[in-house]
């Protein structure tokens, strides 16, 4: 445990140049007294850590000192190559870059760990696209990735229902969700999300922009995805679900709708059926979703949706009469 902490301490100082004892203690979740003892241990081991006194002081590594990757364990080496599984990087045109980086890491690893790349390739494979989707990346993905790396403005034409619009944006990041790529960009004072396969033309500008360092792509995406689903569920219906229907509901609608349906569910009857309110995008969308549950669901409200499903059940019964 202590050996891992000492390695982490050296890597922190290597990456951030200078940190106070309080900052190191907070990062490593130990006391400042423990940090002081660790610094003494590193000095005794020949690692040149020294303390700058004064208001802007802190612990530093003696100029130019760099640790080598010989401290990696078997699990850490495997995890390193697991993070570089092929797929999204190739779609963005970075396959050669990833390969070169992996070769450099392999060259720095001890001989006993140089099979990490092969071990991972034989055990794990990331298949990014969802079922029933093509695996071909969008036409403009590599150009957008280049713009994101270089902080260059982008102008593109974008399909919106029955028309196309032109937008000039500052591309902050790319997100791959279920095999579909999305561009997150700053437009004016805020950020917006655009689906890449709806872009019909992309021009990367020569002008660069200043990135807001406080913007966190993962946090933004998580909040946007949750908000998108909740905004999409604008209607509500009342249903009865069998135990099997209750279980299968997760496969036909979004997780927020399932969670709310579970929270709204009444007590099960003697056969295990429950009555609950289910958020839906619209009665039309709910019709298609609930058809797939067959006899495991009964719509109680609204009457129009109940009538549609009753009619569908009669037609289905006629087919099998």
Which of 66-70, 150-154, 255-259 has the weakest average pLDDT? Answer: 66-70
- For the whole prediction, is pTM greater than 0.75? no
Please check whether residue 60 is in contact with residue 13, taking contact to mean a CB–CB distance below 8 angstroms: yes
Task: Give the per-residue pLDDT at 129.
Answer: 66
Closest CA to 288 of 242, 239, 253, 245: 253
All residues at 6 or more sequence positions from 253 whose CB lies less than 8 Å from its CB, including other chains: 278, 280, 289
Q: What is the mean pLDDT of residues 93-99?
A: 63
Determine what percent of the chain is predicted with pLDDT higher than 70: 78
Say if residue 3's pLDDT is above 90: no
Say if residue 306's pLDDT is above 60: yes
Q: What is the mean pLDDT of residues 251-268?
A: 91
Task: Give the per-residue pLDDT at 51.
Answer: 84
Closest CA to 121 of 81, 92, 90: 81
121 is written with which tokens?
A: 């390739």
Q: What is the mean pLDDT of residues 88-117?
A: 66
**Side-by-side strand order, sheet with 274-280:** 274-280, 235-241, 297-301
- What is d(CA 169, CA 43) in angstroms, rounded to the nearest whole number? 50
Range among 48-62, 84-98, 141-155 rated most confident:
141-155
């Amino acid at each position: 445990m202590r050996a891992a902490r000492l390695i982490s301490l050296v890597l922190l100082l290597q990456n951030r140049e200078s940190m106070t004892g309080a900052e190191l203690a907070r990062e490593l979740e130990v006391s400042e007294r423990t940090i002081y003892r660790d610094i003494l241990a590193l000095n005794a081991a020949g690692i040149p850590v020294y303390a700058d006194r004064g208001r802007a002081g802190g612990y530093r590594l003696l100029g130019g000192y760099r640790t080598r990757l010989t401290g990696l364990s078997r699990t850490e080496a495997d995890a390193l190559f697991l993070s570089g599984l092929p797929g999204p990087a190739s779609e963005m045109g970075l396959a050669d870059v990833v390969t070169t980086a992996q070769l450099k890491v392999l060259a720095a690893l001890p001989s006993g760990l140089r099979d990490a790349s092969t071990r991972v390739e034989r055990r794990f494979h990331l298949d990014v696209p969802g079922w029933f989707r093509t695996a071909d990346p969008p036409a403009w993905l590599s150009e957008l990735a280049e713009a994101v790396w270089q902080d260059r403005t982008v102008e593109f034409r974008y399909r919106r229902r029955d028309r196309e619009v032109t937008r000039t944006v500052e591309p902050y990041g790319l997100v791959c969700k279920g095999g579909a790529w999305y561009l997150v960009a700053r437009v004016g004072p805020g950020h917006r999300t655009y689906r890449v396969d709806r872009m019909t033309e992309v021009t990367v500008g020569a002008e660069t922009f200043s990135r807001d360092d406080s913007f966190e792509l993962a946090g933004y995406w998580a909040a946007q995805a949750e908000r998108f689903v909740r905004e999409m569920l604008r209607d509500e219906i009342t249903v009865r679900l069998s135990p099997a229907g209750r279980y299968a509901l997760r496969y036909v609608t979004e997780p927020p709708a399932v969670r709310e349906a579970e929270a709204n569910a009444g007590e099960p009857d003697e056969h295990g059926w429950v009555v609950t309110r289910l958020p839906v995008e619209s009665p039309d969308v709910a019709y298609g979703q609930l058809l797939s549950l067959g006899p495991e669901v009964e719509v109680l409200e609204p009457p129009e949706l109940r009538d549609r499903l009753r009619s569908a059940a009669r037609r289905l019964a006629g087919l099998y009469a």
